[in-house]
Amino acid sequence: MSYLDKILLLIYVLTTLPLAILLIYKVYRLNQLQPKFNSVKKSLDDMDEQAKLIVRTDMELNKIQEALDKKITGLYALQRLSRIISMTLEEDQIFKRIQAEYLEDLGLEKGCGFLWDERNKQFALRFSIGYRDDEIMAIKSFVNNSQEKFLDFIINDKTLSSVPGANDLISAQQLNTVFKVISFIISPLLPQQNNRGLIFVGTENPETVITEGDEELIKILATQLGQALENARLFEKTWRAQQELEKKVTERTHELTLALEEVKKISARKTNFVSSVSHELRTPLTSIKGYAAILLTGKLGELPKDVRERLEKINRHSDELVHMVNELLDISRIESGKVTMRTEICNLKEIVDKVEDLLSGQLKERKLSLTTGITQDANLVLADRTQIERVFINLISNAMRFTPAQGKITVTSRKVDKMIEVGVRDTGCGIPEEAQEAIFEEFFRVDNAINQEVRGTGLGLTLVKHIVEAHNGKIWVKSKIGSGSTFSFTLPAAE
Ligand code: ADP
C-alpha cells in the first residue's frame, strides 16, 4: 500500500467513522422509539375504528329517525282519521272516511274492512282501497270460507300480521297471497256481539317493512273505528226510539184532540140539556109552590093540622128545588158563555160588609164571629158586583154551616202581582184531602155527619168556581180535618 493509499484510507476511515457512529446511534434511537411508534399506530387504528363506528351509528340513527318520521306521519294520519270518524254518526259514512291518503301516510297502499252480518251469517265488505273488483271478490270469498277462524280471532281480540311469529291461526304466506301483499296487519273491530268485524291493511312494497309499532297504530285505528261504529249504532237506536216516540206523541195528541172535541161536544150537549130541563122544571115548580102557598093561606078552607104540615113540607121542598134549578141554570149559563160579567171597580170591603149584614142573623144564631181583614191596598177589584156577592154568600154560608158554635170566620185580602187574592178562613170541621178537588165538581158533597143532617145541592162551589174563572181568576182550598178550611180565590186588581 502506498503512502497515498494509506492517507486516502485514513481519510475514508475518518469520514465514514462518524457516519457509522451516527448510523449506529440512529438505529439505537429508532429501536428506542419503536414502542412509541407502535402505540401511535395503534391509536390511529383505534381512531379509524371509532370513525367507522360513528359512521355506522349515524347511519343507524338516520334509520331510526326515518322510522320515527314514518311513525309521526302515521300518527298524524291516524289522529286526523280518528277525529273525522269519531264525529261521524252514520255507519256507511264512517267507512267512506277511510281514504287512500291516510293509508299512504302509514306507508301502506292496500286496505279493506269487513263487518259480520249476523242475519246472513257472513262477513260483509264495508270498504276496500287499492284492489280491483275481482281481487276484492276473491278476498271476500276467502274471508267467508275461513269465517270460523276469522271469528275466532275477532272474539279473542287477536291481531294477525306478517311480523314473524305473530300468526298461529292462518299462515302469513297464505294471507300474503290472498291479499296480494308482502306484509300486512289484520286487526279485529269491537269483539262484541254488535259490529263485530275486521280491518286489513298491507303493502306490496318491499321497502316498507311492517313493524310491531305499525301493529300498535293499526290496533288503535281499529279500536277507534269500533268505537265510532258503536256510537253510530247507539245513535241510530236513540234516533229510532225518538222517531218512534215522536210518532206516538203525534198519534196520542191527535187522539186527545179528537177526545177533547168529543168531550166539548158532550159538555155542550149536557149544558144545553141541563139548561132546558131546568127551564122546563121551573114552570111546574112555580105552580106547585103557588098552589101550596094558596092552600096554606086557608082561603080555600081550613086545613087539618097534618095536611098543613105536609103542605108546609111541599112548600119547603119546592123552595129547595127552585133554588137548585136556579143554580143549575146559572151554572149552565156561565158555562156556555151566555152570562157576561158586568165588570166595574168594586170595593171588596163594602161587599163583605153587605154580606155580613145579610147573614148577621144566622151568624148570631150559630154563635160565630166574622172578622174582615181586607186591607186598603188590596181592596179594589175589577169584577161583577152581583156575582162577587154570590161568591161571598156561598163561601161564608158554607163556612158557617161547617163551623161549630164559638168558631171564627175571617175574610182577608192581599195583592199578588196584578191580582187580589181573597181568603175565607174558618175554624170548622175541615175537608178530607182526597175530596179537596172534587168539592168544586157538580153535586159533590163530602160524606160527613153535618151533610147528612143539613140539605144541600153540591152546586154552590161549582157556581163559585165558574164565576171566579169567568173573571180570569182561580179558586182553591187548603184544609185540615178538625182545624178548618181556607178557600182562596183571585180577582183582577183595579188599578
Ligand atoms: P153544598 O154546600 O150544597 O153541599 P157546595 O158545593 O157549596 O155544596 O159544597 C160542596 C161540599 O164541600 C159540601 O157539601 C161540603 O162537604 C164541602 N164544604 C164546602 N165548604 C166547606 C167548609 N167551609 N168546610 C167544610 N166543608 C166544606
Give the range with max mean pLDDT: 11-15, 149-153, 261-265, 320-324: 261-265
Nearest to 201 by CA among 303, 110, 93: 110
pLDDT at position 166, please? 54
- Provide Rg for the chain, Cα atoms: 55
Phi-psi region of 298 (alpha: psi -120 to 50; beta: other; left: phi over 0): left
The rounded percent of the chain whose pLDDT value lies above 90 is 48
Which of 190-194, 310-314, 369-373, 455-459 is the least confident region? Answer: 190-194
- Tell me how far the alpha carbon of residue 443 lies from the centroid of ligand 1, in angstroms: 10
Q: From atom 22 of ligand 1, which residue's Cα is the shortest distance away?
A: 399
- Tell me how far the alpha carbon of residue 398 lies from the centroid of ligand 1, in angstroms: 6
Residues 252-266: what's their mean pLDDT?
94
Neighbours of 430 (CB within 10 A): 20
d(CA 268, CA 115): 63
* Continuous segment of H or E residues that includes residue 209: none
Nearest to 329 by CA among 279, 381, 288, 293: 279
- Of the two residues 276 and 481, the one the predictor is more confident about is 481
pLDDT at position 165, please? 60
d(CA 189, CA 186): 10
Residues 12-27: what's their mean pLDDT?
87
- Of the two residues 468 and 165, the one the predictor is more confident about is 468
- pLDDT at position 216 over 90: no
Nearest to 231 by CA among 82, 76, 74: 82
List, for residues 37-51, the tens digit of each pLDDT value.
889 999 999 999 999
Cα-Cα-Cα-Cα torsion 173, 178, 179, 185, nearest 10 degrees, comes to: -40
- Tell me how far the alpha carbon of residue 423 lies from the centroid of ligand 1, in angstroms: 16
The pLDDT confidence band at residue 155, using thresholds 50, 70 and 90, is: confident
Q: From atom 20 of ligand 1, which residue's Cα is the shortest distance away?
A: 398
480 beta partners: 484
Residues 418-429: what's their mean pLDDT?
96
Residues 322-340: what's their mean pLDDT?
84
- pLDDT at position 360 over 60: yes
pLDDT at position 103, please? 81
Average pLDDT, the chain: 89
- Residue 21 identity: I
Cell 286526523, residue?
80
Angle between helical axes of 172-179 and 133-145 (0-180°, round to 10): 150
pLDDT at position 171, please? 81
Written as nine digits, the cell of 434 is 182526597
pLDDT at position 285, please? 87
Report the relative pairing of strands 197-203 and 183-189 from DSSP bridges.
Answer: antiparallel
- pLDDT at position 164 over 80: no
Angle formed at CA 291 by CA 288 and CA 293, multiple of 5 degrees: 105
Q: From atom 18 of ligand 1, which residue's Cα is the shortest distance away?
A: 398
- Tell me how far the alpha carbon of residue 448 lies from the centroid of ligand 1, in angstroms: 10
pLDDT at position 193, please? 61
Nearest to 223 by CA among 187, 277, 247, 258: 187
pLDDT at position 167, please? 57
The pLDDT confidence band at residue 98, using thresholds 50, 70 and 90, is: confident
What are the strands of the beta sheet with 484-492, ordered from one edge? 369-373, 408-416, 419-426, 484-492, 475-480
Cell 108546609, residue?
312
- pLDDT at position 372 over 90: yes
pLDDT at position 192, please? 62
d(CA 326, CA 331): 9
* Continuous segment of H or E residues that includes residue 126: strand 122-129
pLDDT at position 63, please? 86
- pLDDT at position 194 over 70: no
- pLDDT at position 74 over 70: yes
Residues 136-148: what's their mean pLDDT?
94
Written as nine digits, the cell of 223 is 279500536
List, for residues 394-404, the tens digit of each pLDDT value.
999 999 999 99
- pLDDT at position 431 over 90: yes
- Of the two residues 221 and 247, the one the predictor is more confident about is 247
pLDDT at position 153, please? 84
The pLDDT confidence band at residue 208, using thresholds 50, 70 and 90, is: confident
Which of 116-125, 152-161, 409-418 is the least confident region? Answer: 152-161
pLDDT at position 169, please? 66
Q: Which residues, at least 6 apart from 103, have a Cβ–Cβ distance to it below 8 Å?
A: 109, 110, 111, 129, 130, 201
d(CA 143, CA 139): 6
User: What residues does ligand 1 touch, defined as CB less than 6 Å away?
Assistant: 394, 398-399, 402, 426, 428-429, 431, 439, 444-446, 451, 456-462, 485
